[in-house]
Chains A and B, each alone.
Chain A
Amino acid sequence: MNAREEILGRVRLALADRPGSPEIDWEYGRPVSTGGLGLVERFAERVADYHAEVEMLDREDIGPAIAAALGDARHVVGDRTLRESWPSGAELEWLDASDLTSAELDQVDAVVTTATIGIANTGTIVLDHGRGQGRRAASLVPDVHVCLISADQIVSDVPEAVARIIELGAQTHPLTWISGPSATSDIELSRVEGVHGPRTLRVIVVR
């Protein structure tokens, strides 16, 4: 008997008592209270709580905000919209992640992505690596991640986020949930932000 048949056989034998399938007493996808704060404010507060930087602005201010968030980064990965709409003559060189190997990505200063969902109560951004976000390595290898999220992408908590992902049909896309910059407490229990992921996470919420 092959391993598959044998394991499945063992499972069936083990379940010979035929336990009934239990009811799950849980209503999926419910909104959760964000306390006294609105969705966007709660989101901003919680993102900041992870020591990521967050700012809220209007659509027309996006360009300058991105420029400011990028600081003195020179080689920046971004999607086509950004690359093409960025004023020429700027000192930035925009790169297309799909042209770059991992080693080349490692030489890039920063990456700008959009997000798929923001989760207010946990301060999480969810990427599905579709348009505007690039493949997973692109938002991982560079040291600075600037993430644009629009206010209407922000949901209250994890249940709504999961429901929204399913609604978008994104549940089988590669997904990355990011809650603050990477962190470790392995040295003397003191929290250090930034081990392998981008050490700087700047979230820009567009109203």
Chain B
Amino acid sequence: MSEGGAGMRIDHPHVGVTTAFLGMPTFQQAAKESLNDPVQRRNLAHATGVIREKRAAVVGELDNWEELRRAAEAIKNRALFSLDDYLMEFEERAAAAGATVHWARDAAEANRIVVDLARAKQAREVVKVKSMATQEIELNEALQAAGIDAWETDLAELIVQLGDDWPSHILVPAIHRNRSEVREIFLRQMKKVGRPAPEDLTDDPPRLAEAARLHLREKFLRADFAVSGANFAIAETGSLVVVESEGNGRMCLSLPKTLVSVVGIEKILPTWRDLEVMLQVLPRSSTGERENPYTSIWTGNAEGDGPQDVHIVLLDNGRTEVLADEVGRAALRCIRCSACLNVCPVYERAGGHAYGSVYPGPIGAVLTPQLRGTSSEVDQSLPYASSLCGACFDACPVRIDIPSLLVHLRTRVVDEHRGGVPRPEAVAMKAAGWMFADHRRYEVAERLATSGGKALRSPLFGRREVLRQLPPPLNAWSGARDVPVPPPESFRSWWKRTEGGRHEPRCAPHSSTETPSGQRTSSRSRSTEGE
């Protein structure tokens, strides 16, 4: 359980994610509306289409793409199959280079480590490079609970964080915002939290980007404490790698005095030269570029350059359980490129939110239930969130056979369930899963699931409660978006009150989007994850 998890809690072991998933009706309603909105659907299809084309073009330039994929697969397998040795090697090398290495069994432990470090440095705010691992553990919430502001620093994050009117923009928040909306948000909100937008701001994208540059630069220049994830952790040298586009990563990695990187244990690569494969397949698969604008690699601390106090938190949080499944462990090869999302017809239709996890799309459907444990009844529907068309496998740079994994997980779900009476959550989850097979079933799921809404106070808007669980398609791996939190009613109490949903008026407006300040209705012991 996460620390600071006082307040209401539903009594399931994996509440954080459970709650997110149970919060689906609101999402589904919004998704349904969005899907019925031809403009938004076109935007969504356009976005995935653009990336698909770019990817195809840069992949087509290489005559050895298949060879690269096989090498990438073998490298990740080699790391995973001797993970204990490589983790110890990584720890030793990173420590020798000046980093302090911490180990975290679960989210709560990782959060505690980061919060304690921030407190020890008397940091009142931290700048963050977007990172799925920190989304997974809900680090921002933990920092917030400790009175520390966490600033996400990529542009899409900024637009969404500053905007205060999300409900109909769930699927593609930052893409969906047109330029004049972005301008208006910047003008109205930047001054409340830092450097104001220039008064003569126009809706020209370069001008808007400049406003973001100036606004965030103030934060970069004064921040003493940064938090990042990592795309790769190299055992041989103890090095970490962050791949990015905007330069906010470079800012966070080189200006503050203290840097803490939260790194899933599956990020290990055996040797430094393995980067020659990974740095070819990742940018091409991810943003469809030959190489992304910026890649930063660092090893411990460097004298006179960048953070001198460097920490690495090696995070398990369910990964060892995935590793224990001889078939399912393939999902740990994932390098979070999001190629599988962009080719998935189910994803394009349902949107990222429907997966109820920071890991959406095909990979989310295999990774999320494994990380959370299929013995929990919560995610048993996810393996059904696919038509098994196989496009994801073809796109995957580390050759994760997602369709076969889905089938494997379905078998596990069935086996683990034999003889037991499903709990209400499981029923709700199954109902939610059906919607992938038939759109009309949205209604079923809507009525079945309700929310124990996870209350996260937005650093920007005080009492406005937000829920950070809805990755959009385009930046699906890169940022949680804020949407209003569903009311803080636990699934169980709702179930009782409405007799299993039968007395719940369909599409009833939620009476409240707030919970008492600071109250958390969920915590997360294990969950899904990030880069």
Are A and B associated in one complex? yes
**Which residues of A are interface residues toward B (Cβ below 8 A)?**
2-4, 6-8, 10-17, 19-26, 28-29, 46, 50, 98, 102-103, 106, 119, 121-124, 129, 135-137, 140-141, 157-159, 161-163, 166, 171-184, 186-190, 192-197
Residues of B within 8 Å of A, CB-based: how many? 91
27 A-B contact pairs sorted by A residue (CB < 8 Å) = A6-B105, A7-B265, A7-B320, A11-B87, A15-B83, A21-B78, A22-B78, A26-B67, A28-B276, A46-B290, A106-B221, A135-B254, A135-B305, A135-B306, A136-B253, A140-B250, A141-B255, A171-B299, A176-B294, A177-B295, A179-B289, A179-B291, A180-B293, A182-B246, A196-B153, A196-B248, A196-B251
Please name the residue on chain B nearest to A124 by beta carbon: B291
B105 CB contacts on chain A under 8 angstroms: 3, 6-7
A195 with B248: CB separation less than 8 A: yes
Q: In the complex, what distance in Å separates the CA atom of A184 from the CA atom of B216?
A: 15
Would you give the shortest CB distance from B217 to chain A, in whole angstroms? 7
Contacting residue for A123 out of B273, B280, B290, B302, CB 8 A: B290
Contacting residue for B296 out of A98, A175, A181, A186, CB 8 A: A175
Q: In the complex, what distance in Å separates the CA atom of A126 from the CA atom of B474?
A: 28
A161 CB contacts on chain B under 8 angstroms: 276
A14 with B320: CB separation less than 8 A: yes
B248 with A15: CB separation less than 8 A: no
B321 with A194: CB separation less than 8 A: no
Would you give the shortest CB distance from A133 to chain B, in whole angstroms? 10
B78 with A196: CB separation less than 8 A: no
A123 with B291: CB separation less than 8 A: yes
Name which of B34-42, B173-181, B521-529 contacts chain A: B173-181
Binary CB contact string for chain B from 103 to 119 against chain A (1 if under 8 A, 0 otherwise):
11100010000000000
Q: In the complex, what distance in Å separates the CA atom of A102 from the CA atom of B320?
A: 41
Q: Is B388 an interface residue (CB 8 A)?
A: no
Q: Is B97 an interface residue (CB 8 A)?
A: yes
Residues of chain B in range 231-266 having any CB-CB distance to chain A below 8 Å = 237-239, 245-248, 250-251, 253-255, 265
Would you give the shortest CB distance from B267 to chain A, in whole angstroms? 14
Instruction: Return the 5 tightest CB-CB contacts between A and B, nearest first.
Output: A197-B247, A196-B247, A26-B71, A10-B320, A14-B324
Contacting residue for B245 out of A106, A137, A182, CB 8 A: A182
Q: In the complex, what distance in Å separates the CA atom of A24 from the CA atom of B206?
A: 44
Contacting residue for B293 out of A11, A24, A178, A189, CB 8 A: A178
A17 CB contacts on chain B under 8 angstroms: 326
Please name the residue on chain A nearest to B292 by beta carbon: A179
B276 with A192: CB separation less than 8 A: no
Given contacts A11-B265, A22-B78, A194-B213, contact A176 B302 (CB under 8 A): no
Given contacts A11-B320, A171-B237, contact A24 B304 (CB under 8 A): no
B272 with A162: CB separation less than 8 A: yes
Binary CB contact string for chain B from 33 to 72 against chain A (1 if under 8 A, 0 otherwise):
0000000000000110010000000000000000100110
Given contacts A140-B250, A182-B293, contact A106 B217 (CB under 8 A): yes
A196 with B246: CB separation less than 8 A: yes
**Highest count of chain A CB atoms <10 Å: which of B217, B248, B275:** B275
B276 with A136: CB separation less than 8 A: no
A184 with B209: CB separation less than 8 A: yes
A103 with B221: CB separation less than 8 A: yes
Residues of chain B in range 62-100 having any CB-CB distance to chain A below 8 Å = 67, 70-71, 74-75, 77-78, 81-84, 87-88, 91, 97
Binary CB contact string for chain B from 157 to 183 against chain A (1 if under 8 A, 0 otherwise):
001000000000000001101110010
Given contacts A26-B67, A135-B306, A187-B205, contact A172 B291 (CB under 8 A): no
Q: In the complex, what distance in Å separates the CA atom of A102 from the CA atom of B127?
A: 15
A162 with B275: CB separation less than 8 A: yes
A29 CB contacts on chain B under 8 angstroms: 273, 276
Q: In the complex, what distance in Å separates the CA atom of A135 from the CA atom of B179?
A: 36
B104 CB contacts on chain A under 8 angstroms: 3
A174 with B305: CB separation less than 8 A: yes
Please name the residue on chain B nearest to A26 by beta carbon: B71
Please name the residue on chain A nearest to B77 by beta carbon: A22
**Highest count of chain A CB atoms <10 Å: which of B104, B109, B293:** B293
B102 CB contacts on chain A under 8 angstroms: 3
B71 with A25: CB separation less than 8 A: yes
